[in-house]
Amino acid sequence: MTRAVRVLPLPLLLLPLLLVSCGTEKAGAEKRAGAGVESSTGSVADPVELDARARVLGIAPEHVYVTGAPGFAVARQSVGVYGGDGFSAAYVSQEARATFEMLVDRGTMTAKNCPTVQVSQGSGGSVAAGGPRDEVTCERDGDAWYRKAGGRHEYAVPRDGHVIRLVGDVKGLDRAVLRGAAEAAHHPDAEELADLLPPAPEGAATEPVERGDLPPVGDGAPNNEVGASG
């Protein structure tokens, strides 16, 4: 969690567009708003299908989550990769004209490193080395951390090898909304997956491709040895 990451600017840069369009591009989230950790349909997403759809976008399948919050819907246009192989999505409320982001990436969150990890600035990305940093305050809340810095606040939920972060502006976004979204975060069921991620291209590989043209020993680099005349 401490490394610099690439944050997609789409959720915040296109907020006006998302506020208008989320009524049609909501990936089925509004009807499941406020759902608990268990999927609402009970239909488990096919692991092979999840793997194929996620890897096409460069996302590790275990990082794909959905959530729910009353009045909020996921904007499908915002779904994408975060950092190296993490997951990013924006949830938008037309009525409240508010948004929060779900960011999932490798790492952990502890009492020791919580104050050192900057709260996400959305389209601004992580703070540049040597740049100004807002003081981060951390408050333990059940299995999660409630964190504030500057005008942003978030809930960070450590899971096995990764952290789910629900983040938004302090003004206009109640802490209770983020807390509820953190509690509702879960891996998608079959219906949610179909609405969330685009289908994998026909014949997309879900396992590493075994090359048949590489030598059985060595690193497979070409032979650049120079002969006696070279």
* Per-chain mean pLDDT for the chain: 77
Is residue 56 in a domain? yes
Q: Does residue 209 belong to any structural domain of this protein?
A: no
Q: Please give the pLDDT value at position 134.
A: 85
Domain membership flag for residue 134 = yes
Residue 203 inside a domain? The answer is no
Q: How many domains does one find in the chain?
A: 1
Q: What is the pLDDT of residue 227?
A: 55
pLDDT at residue 208 is higher than 50: no
pLDDT-derived band at 122, boundaries 50, 70, 90: low
Residue 220 counted as domain residue: no
* Structural domain contains residue 212: no
Q: Tally Cβ neighbours within 10 Å of residue 190.
A: 16
Identify which of 79, 137, 76 has the alpha carbon closest to the alpha carbon of residue 103: 79
Taking CA atoms, 177 is separated from 93, 153, 196, 201, in Å, by 11, 11, 21, 36
| pLDDT score, position 203 | 63
Q: Is residue 206 part of a domain?
A: no
pTM across the whole model: 0.71
The mean pLDDT of 110-123, rounded to a whole number, is 84
Tens digit of pLDDT for each residue in 23-80? Answer: 434 444 444 433 333 444 557 789 999 999 999 999 999 999 999 999 999 999 999 9
- Residue 169: pLDDT band (50, 70, 90) is very high
What's the confidence (pLDDT) of residue 112?
A: 95
Tell me the residue range of the domain where 152 lies. Answer: 10-196
In-domain check, residue 173: yes
**pLDDT number for residue 161:** 94
* Contacting residues for 119 by C-beta, under 8 A, at least 6 apart: 134, 136, 147, 148, 149, 150, 152, 153, 154, 167
